[in-house]
């Protein structure tokens, strides 16, 4: 941690800072510059001590040296984490594809989608049984009945099931049916929920919050990892910006950025990342080219009659065409898909 003092601090103030730094178990180096005095506090500064120094009136700013996450870091574990569940592989040179409807609506809808996305190359089936909806007047999901339909689709197709859990006391129920538990963007900082899924021994797909910084995203993963669950995939699903022509802005540079800092695999969600069906296929191709370890895509047999997210759902035909294009890109870059 680097503590920059305001101009011309008194000797006593600097001495007080040094003592405070040392009381924290860090080592202090004082550097007198021409315009500023700087105190470098050496040691593990992840414990939130930054705010302590920011609260001193004599301090101009405090700059951390280390990233605030630890278990998620490549420095802690250099080898990449690969998620494997049934035939779904995410990472390690394989692009795993999860596809399916936003909401589970009926047996027929789930079964038909499952068969078609499997035929097109998906290895995972997504589908919401518990739905977080912005409006209390929107469809809230089929709940446990939806989970049963997903399990039945797995029975038939062998696809790994990916579904969202929204609150800690549902974790056990959802985990009983699903292969991968999804934490939605709106719950990325729902810490009780993160801790609850940290105790499960199934992989977690953690979606980035719409305005979460990269450090906040990795710290949310850290909450899960810290409970002992090491199978976390990070999902970039777009951030909120001034841009309104898409529902969210999908920053694909997150892929190489994250890969340089964490061993966790990175999945891209181009459906929520754009919110517009016609933009999904090009963004799928781009995600694969950027190095993503997986894709999660909304597919609905009849988007016009979908209970939710129809505007961003692909038809099974368009999805199949997108997969073919993505495979070409993957092959060109020596990736499995």
Q: Which of residues 290-319 bind its own copies (CB under 8 A)?
A: 290-291, 303-306, 308-311, 313
List the interface residues with its own copies, window 179-208 (CB under 8 A): 186-187, 189-193
List the interface residues with its own copies, window 263-282 (CB under 8 A): 273-274, 276-279, 282
Work out the end-to-end distance of the chain between its first and last CA atoms, rounded to an integer number of angstroms: 43
Q: Among 23, 26, 17, which residue's Cα sits nearest to residue 45? A: 26
Residue 332, C-beta contacts closer than 8 angstroms, at least 6 positions apart: none
List the interface residues with its own copies, window 99-118 (CB under 8 A): none
Measured distance CA(153)–CA(114) in Å, rounded: 6
Q: Which of 22, 133, 156, 176 binds its own copies (CB under 8 A)?
A: 133
Number of residues that bind its own copies (CB under 8 A): 106
Four-residue CA torsion sign, 139, 131, 173, 157: positive
336 near its own copies (CB under 8 A): no
Q: Which is nearer to its own copies, 157 or 271 (CB)?
A: 271
Q: How far is the CB of 160 from its own copies (least distance, A)?
A: 26
Q: How many CB atoms lie within 10 A of CB 174?
A: 24
Q: Which is nearer to its own copies, 160 or 206 (CB)?
A: 206
Stretch of 29-37, 110-118, 172-180, 199-207 contacting its own copies, by CB under 8 A: 29-37
251 near its own copies (CB under 8 A): yes
Measured distance CA(210)–CA(112) in Å, rounded: 31
Residue 10, C-beta contacts closer than 8 angstroms, at least 6 positions apart: none
Reading the block at residue 93, the tokens are 């040179």
97 near its own copies (CB under 8 A): no
Q: Which of 63, 107, 108, 119 binds its own copies (CB under 8 A)?
A: 63
Q: Which is nearer to its own copies, 56 or 115 (CB)?
A: 56
Q: How many CB atoms lie within 10 A of CB 78?
A: 8
11 near its own copies (CB under 8 A): no
């Amino acid at each position: 941690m680097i503590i920059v003092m305001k101009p011309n601090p008194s000797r006593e103030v600097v001495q007080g800072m040094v003592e405070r730094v040392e009381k924290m178990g860090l080592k202090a180096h004082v550097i007198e510059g021409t315009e500023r005095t700087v105190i470098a506090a050496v040691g593990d500064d992840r414990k939130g001590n930054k705010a302590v120094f920011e609260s001193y009136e004599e301090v101009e700013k405090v700059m951390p040296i280390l990233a605030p996450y630890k278990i998620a870091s490549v420095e802690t574990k250099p080898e990449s984490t690969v998620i494997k569940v049934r035939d779904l592989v995410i990472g390690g040179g394989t692009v795993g594809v999860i596809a399916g409807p936003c909401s589970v609506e009926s047996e027929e809808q789930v079964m038909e989608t499952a068969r078609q996305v499997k035929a097109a190359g998906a290895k995972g089936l997504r589908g919401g049984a518990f739905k977080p909806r912005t409006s209390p007047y929107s469809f809230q999901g089929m709940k446990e009945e939806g989970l049963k339909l997903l399990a039945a689709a797995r029975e038939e197709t062998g696809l790994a099931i990916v579904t969202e859990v929204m609150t800690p006391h549902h974790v056990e129920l959802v985990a009983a049916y699903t292969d991968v538990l999804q934490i939605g963007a709106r719950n990325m900082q729902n810490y009780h929920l993160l801790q609850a899924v940290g105790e499960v021994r199934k992989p977690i797909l953690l979606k980035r919050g719409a305005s979460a910084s990269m450090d906040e995203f990795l710290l949310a993963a850290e909450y899960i990892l810290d409970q002992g669950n090491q199978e976390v995939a990070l999902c970039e699903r777009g951030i909120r910006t001034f841009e309104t022509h898409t529902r969210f802005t999908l920053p694909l540079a997150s892929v190489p950025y994250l890969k340089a800092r964490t061993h966790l695999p990175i999945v891209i969600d181009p459906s929520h990342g754009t919110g517009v069906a016609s933009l999904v296929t090009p963004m799928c191709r781009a995600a694969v080219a950027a190095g993503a370890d997986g894709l999660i895509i909304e597919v609905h047999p009849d988007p016009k009659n979908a209970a939710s997210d129809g505007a961003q759902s692909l038809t099974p035909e368009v999805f199949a065409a997108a997969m073919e294009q993505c495979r070409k890109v993957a092959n060109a870059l020596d990736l499995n898909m």
